[in-house]
Amino acid sequence: MDDFNTFIQDWKSTPQAPQNNGKNTDDSLMAKVRSFHKKTVFENLKVSVAFALTFIVMGVIYTVFKEQGWLFYTSILALMVLMTLTLVMFWYRTLFWRRLDFNRDVLGFSNKVIKKLKTTLWLEGIYMPLYLLLLAVILTFYLADVLKSEEPLFLYGAWALSYAWLWGMGMYGRRRFIKKRRPELEKIIREMENIRNTLE
């Protein structure tokens, strides 16, 4: 069939894909995972340093200011517990690379990455707003005790400023999460799930 001979010639002239190899195929997704992992670790380190400084300041306040009300000590302790819990969760979402070898155990690696990324999604999407809310509650009690001898207006002003600051942080974080982080994370999760589904 002449037509099919022509088809065969034409077919062979189909444009080629960019030259690639299996390692690069893995690597393009792995590059995204590594880059995301680096950003996560860097973020964790920043938070750890900030929290460490806060702990030191809180520790000093706790020990220096004696004979304060129970609200004062409770709110400082509550803050320390909240921050410790948050820090633990931040580090929990980090993938400890050396424990897993992608080439030896692709399925295990994919499952681990998906789990960590979903934890990050939950942390940034659900836990952080909750964290700010709890922080607001703690600050309410703390300021109520610390400023109990001041004018009520001063206390309300302090509360309002604290809430405004937390609200601003919350809105900034939420916007960043919805516009940038969530699509980024969901894309990597989808790609890892595709790999996992084809291997299962």
Partner 1 sequence: MNKKEKLFHDVLKQYSGKIYRLCYAMVYDKSARDDLYQEVLLHLWQSLDRFRKESDIGTWVYRVTVNTALSHNRRHKRDQKIIGGALPADDGMAATDTIAEKKEQEQRLEKLHRAIRQLPEADRMLIGFYLEELSYKEIAKIMGISVNHVGVKMNRAKTKLMKVYNNG
Binding-site ranges for partner 1 (CB under 8 A)? 1, 3-4, 6-17, 19-23, 25-26, 28, 106, 194-195, 197-199
Identify which of residues 52 and 107 has a Cβ nearer to partner 1 in the complex: 107
Identify which of residues 17 and 153 has a Cβ nearer to partner 1 in the complex: 17
Identify which of residues 16 and 63 has a Cβ nearer to partner 1 in the complex: 16
Identify which of residues 8 and 52 has a Cβ nearer to partner 1 in the complex: 8
Q: Output the smallest distance, CB 34 to partner 1, in A.
A: 17
Q: Output the smallest distance, CB 187 to partner 1, in A.
A: 12
Q: Output the smallest distance, CB 100 to partner 1, in A.
A: 15
Q: How far apart are CA 52 and CA 50, in angstroms?
A: 5
Q: CA-based angle 140:145:149, to the nearest 5? A: 125
Q: Output the smallest distance, CB 8 to partner 1, in A.
A: 5
Contacts 24+ apart (CB under 8 A), 119-126: 119/89, 119/92, 119/93, 120/40, 120/93, 120/185, 121/182, 121/185, 121/186, 121/189, 123/89, 123/90, 123/93, 124/173, 124/177, 124/181, 124/182, 125/177, 125/182
